[in-house]
Amino acid sequence: MIQAKLENTATVLDVEDMTCANCAIGVENQLKKLGADDIKVNFALGEASFVAPKSISPDEIAKIITNIGYKSRIRENDKDEKQGLSSIEKKFWFSLFFTLPLIAHMFLPNDSFMQNPILQFGLACPVFILGVFHFGKSGLSSLRNGAPNMDVLIFIGSASAFFYSIWGAYISYGTSETHNFLFFETSASIISLVFLGNLLEHRSITKTTSAIKDLSAMQVKTAMRFNSKGEAEEITYNAIQVGDLLLVNTGDVIPIDGIIIEGNGTIDESMISGESIPINKEKGHKVIGSTILTDGNIIVQAEAIGQNTVLSKIIDLVKNAQQDKPNIQRLGDRISAIFVPVVLGISFTTFLLSKFGLDLSTQQSMLQAIAVLVISCPCAMGLATPTAVMVGIGRAAKTGILIKGGSTLEELAKTKTIIFDKTGTLTTGKFTIKSLNVIDGNKQEIIDLLFNIEGRSAHPIAKSIVENLKTKAKGISLSNIEEIKGIGLSATDESSNKWKVGSYRIASELTDDKLHEVYILKNNKLMATLDIEDEIKPQAKEIITELINQGIQIILLSGDRKSKCDAVAQKLNIQTVFAEQLPNEKLTKVEEYSSKGNTVMVGDGINDAPALARASVGISFGNATDVSINTAQVVLLGTNGIDKLTETLRLSKLTFKTIKQNLFWAFFYNMLAIPVAAFGFLSPIIATATMGLSDIVVIGNSILLKVKK
C-alpha cells in the first residue's frame, strides 16, 4: 500500500568513514561514473544502495568505493549488526596512543628528552601516515569527484604542520632554538581530535536514527507455521512464504501482513498506527505484521513478506527520507559545494597578509593559516538538515504518521490552506438517521419494513439504515423482493401489501417534496420519508476549529450533493464549500488555491487522486484506496486518521524550525570562527576541538527534536 521500498535488484553497501554530506556526494558521483542506477547514499546511516550495471559486479563496485577512501562491504542481510570497535574507533585510539606523549612535551623543560626532534618525528609519523590514508585519500578522491570535502582542509592543515616541523628541525638541529620550530604535536593533535569528533559525531548520529532501530526491533524472529501434516512448527521469520498458514496465540506478535482465515481476537496496532485502543478482528479481516494479539487465537494466511510488509515500507520511508531534500537544504548544499575552495583561499590569504603585511613570523603566520583550515566546518552545514529530517520523520512514523520525504515536511510547515474531501475524510462514510417522518400508518411497522427490506441491499445507505435500526426493529417475512434499477427496492409482506423503498423517483407522482433521501410507499401510497445525515468523524470538529485558530483557511471540496456538503460544513464551521465537483473540477480548485500559497489536500478516494497529486502536499489514510495512498505524500494510519492531522502539522513545523536553527548555527559558527582564527586568537589545536564541537551542537539540537513540544 505504501510506496517506499527499494527495488528487489538493489545492492546495499555498508560504507564507513562518510562524515558529511560532501562525502556522500563523492560516493554518489563515483557510483554515477560506474553506471549505477537508482542511487541512494545515506551518510547518516553509513549506507549506499544502487542497481549495479551489467558491466560491473557489486563486489567490484564495493572495492572501488573502498579505494577512494570509504571502506565498503556488501550487506548480506538488512539486519546485519557490526560487532566490536568500528573503524573510526580503532583509528582514534591508535592515533591517541602516539599523540598524548607529543602533547606532554609542551609541559616539559626545553632540555627534556621529549624535546628531541627525532623522537617527536617518530611519534608523529604513525599518526600522520594514518591521516594520509584516511584524510588524504578521501580528500584527493573528493577533489577528483568535484565535491571537495572537509578532509581536504584537515589533510592540508596537518600536513603543513608536519612538514614545517621537519624543515624547522633540519635548519635548527643541534641548536637551542630547535623546539621553537617543532609542531609535530599540532599535526598529530589535529588528526586525533578530528577522529574524536568523527567518533562522537558517529555515536550522536546513531541516536538520530533510533526510530529505525525501534521499528526494526518490532519484527519477530520466529513464527509458528502449519506444515503439510497440519502440525504447527516453529520456523524463522525469513522462512515464511506467501500463502503460509501461521498460528498466532494470545500475547504473540503477528509475524507478517495477512488475512485471518480462522478465529478472532483483539489486536493492539499502536506500534504501527499509534492507535491506543485495541481493535477486534475476525475471519476475513486484514492484520499487520508486528502488531500484538492481546486476546484470542487466530490463524493467519501470509499475504506480504520481507520488503513488502507495512513495517518494512515504513522503515524504508524513514531511511530514505533525507534523499528528498527540502528547499532550505539546497542553500546549505550550494554553500558547502564552494566552501572548501573558499576556505583554502582565505587560509592562503591569511598566511600572506600575516607574513608580508603584518610582518609576523613564519611560524605564527603558518599557525594562523592552519587554524583557519581546521576551524572551518562544512560538516555542520551538511548535517543540519538530514539529521533533523531523520528525527522528525522517525518520530512521526512511530505515531502512525508516514511522511514521504524531507521536502514534504517543509511544504507542510508553510501550509496556508487545507482542502478536505467529505466522505471518508471528514465523515466516516456511514450514515445516521436524522429523522423518520411518518405520514400515514404505524411507525413500528415502517421501521420493521425498512430494516428487513434494506437488509437485502448492498448500497452504503441501506447498510447504514440497517445498522441504525437493528436494536429497534424485529424480523418480518417478505417475498417477491426485487431491485428497481437505480431507484430502490420492492417487496410483498404477509398481508399481500406491496411496499416500495427508494429515492424520490418512486414517489415523484405522489409528492413534489424532493428534500428527503428515502421514500416509503405502501400499495402506491406515500407512508413515510427518511432523512439521513453523514456521520462526522470523531474529533473532526475540534481539529477543524484548531486549524482555523492557527489561521489556516479550511475548504470543503466534494462530489456529493450541495445539501449534504452544506450540512457537514455547518456542523464543522467550514465557511467555504464547493459541492457536486467532478475529479477534474476538484483538480482545478486545488490548482487555483495552490497558486496562492501552500495548499494541502486531504482525501481518500480514487476521485481524489488527481487533486492529491497537484496539491503542495497530498494527505490520505491507511485504509484509503491504493491509488490515493500511492499519490499522497503523507499517509495517516489508524481507524480515524484525521485525528493525527494537527500533530502532523505540528511536527512538520517543529522539524522545519530545527532545520533553520541548525543552519543558523552552522553559518554563524563559520562566520565568527574563521575571522577569529585568521587574526591569531586560536591555536590549531583549540580550533580543531572547536570544529568538532560545532557538529555536536547541530546533531544534539536535532536529537532534542525527539522530545520537543
Length of the chain: 709
Answer yes or no: 695 catalytic.
Answer: no
Cβ–Cβ under 8 Å, residues 451 and 473:
yes
- Short-list 506, 332, 537, CA closest to 430: 537
User: What is 21-66 written as a DSSP string?
Assistant: HHHHHHHHHHHHHTT-EEEEEETTTTEEEEE--TTS-HHHHHHHHH
Facing residues of 367 across strands? Answer: none
Cβ–Cβ under 8 Å, residues 381 and 691:
no
Q: How many CA atoms lie within 13 A of 650 on its CB side?
A: 16
Strands 576-578 and 599-602: unpaired
Facing residues of 568 across strands? Answer: none
Cβ–Cβ under 8 Å, residues 659 and 385:
yes
| Structure letter (DSSP) for residue 641 | -
Q: How many CA atoms lie within 13 A of 278 on its CB side?
A: 14
| Alpha helices, H only, 303-405 | 310-319, 327-352, 362-375, 378-398
Facing residues of 555 across strands? Answer: 419, 576
409: amino acid identity, one letter: L
Q: Among 17, 252, 421, 608, which one carries the catalytic annotation?
A: 421
What lies within 8 Å, CB to CB, of 356 at 6+ separation is none
114: amino acid identity, one letter: M
Cβ–Cβ under 8 Å, residues 692 and 197:
yes
Cell of 586: 476538484
Spatial distance between the Cα atoms of 344 and 20, rounded to a whole number of angstroms:
18
Backbone φ and ψ for 98, nearest 5 degrees, come out as -90, -25
| C-alpha distances out from residue 528 to 521, 564, 598, Å | 7, 20, 48
Packing angle between helix 645-678 and helix 540-549, nearest 10 degrees?
Answer: 40
What lies within 8 Å, CB to CB, of 551 at 6+ separation is none
- Short-list 40, 52, 44, 55, CA closest to 19: 44
SS3 300: strand
Facing residues of 519 across strands? Answer: 502, 529
Residues recognised as catalytic: 421
